[in-house]
């Protein structure tokens, strides 16, 4: 076989590989057509010791985050995501980073599951907006990774 022929075959083979990789996009069955992080499920309890259990979570940016928040106390509690710079001594529902990243106030023993899209990479706070709770320490850390 001539060198030209070998080179031509190599180019053809490469072209076929590129077509196979790049062309499949929308019509392959299921699977990896959506790029991006896998969905994340988190479980938190709000406690009358003015703490969350667990106290922190870490998720990838852009992930669909489902939070199952249970009020494990006798008082009302909620779970709300706010910017790291938010003053926890004066936090209200209006400070929510996004309305969907808030459980709403949950009665004792009740729970709520809600879903939001993880924001850009960085550090955020989880706060309880019930009067006095965040100032008493009911604040968690929510880390979003690249
Ligand atoms: Cu609370």
Cα 41 to ligand 1 centre (Å): 21
Cα 89 to ligand 1 centre (Å): 13
Cα 54 to ligand 1 centre (Å): 14
What is the fold, at CATH topology level, of the domain defined by 40-145? Immunoglobulin-like (2.60.40)
Domain chopping of the chain, boundaries:
40-145
Cα 141 to ligand 1 centre (Å): 15
pLDDT in tens, 101-123: 999 999 999 999 999 999 999 99
Please, are residues 144 and 121 in contact by the beta-carbon 8 Å criterion?
A: yes
Measured CA to CA, the distance from residue 105 to residue 127 in angstroms comes to 11
Cα 131 to ligand 1 centre (Å): 8
Query: Is the full-model pTM beyond 0.85?
Result: no
Please, are residues 121 and 145 in contact by the beta-carbon 8 Å criterion?
A: yes
Measured CA to CA, the distance from residue 64 to residue 52 in angstroms comes to 21
Cα 9 to ligand 1 centre (Å): 69
Cα 56 to ligand 1 centre (Å): 15
pLDDT in tens, 16-38: 444 444 433 334 444 556 678 99
Strands 64-71 and 40-47: parallel
Measured CA to CA, the distance from residue 112 to residue 106 in angstroms comes to 7
User: Encoding tokens for residue 69?
Assistant: 């928040």
């Amino acid at each position: 076989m001539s060198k030209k022929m070998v080179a031509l075959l190599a180019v053809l083979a490469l072209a076929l590989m590129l077509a196979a990789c790049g062309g499949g996009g929308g019509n392959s069955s299921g699977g990896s057509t959506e790029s991006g992080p896998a969905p994340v499920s988190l479980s938190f309890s709000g406690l009358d010791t003015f703490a969350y259990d667990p106290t922190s979570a870490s998720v990838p940016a852009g992930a669909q985050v489902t939070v199952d928040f249970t009020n494990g106390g006798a008082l009302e509690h909620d779970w709300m995501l706010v910017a790291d710079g938010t003053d926890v001594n004066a936090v209200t529902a209006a400070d929510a980073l996004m309305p969907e990243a808030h459980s709403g106030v949950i009665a004792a023993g009740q729970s709520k599951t809600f879903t939001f899209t993880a924001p850009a990479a960085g550090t955020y706070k989880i706060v309880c907006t019930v009067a006095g709770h965040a100032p008493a320490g009911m604040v968690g850390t929510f880390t979003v990774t690249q």
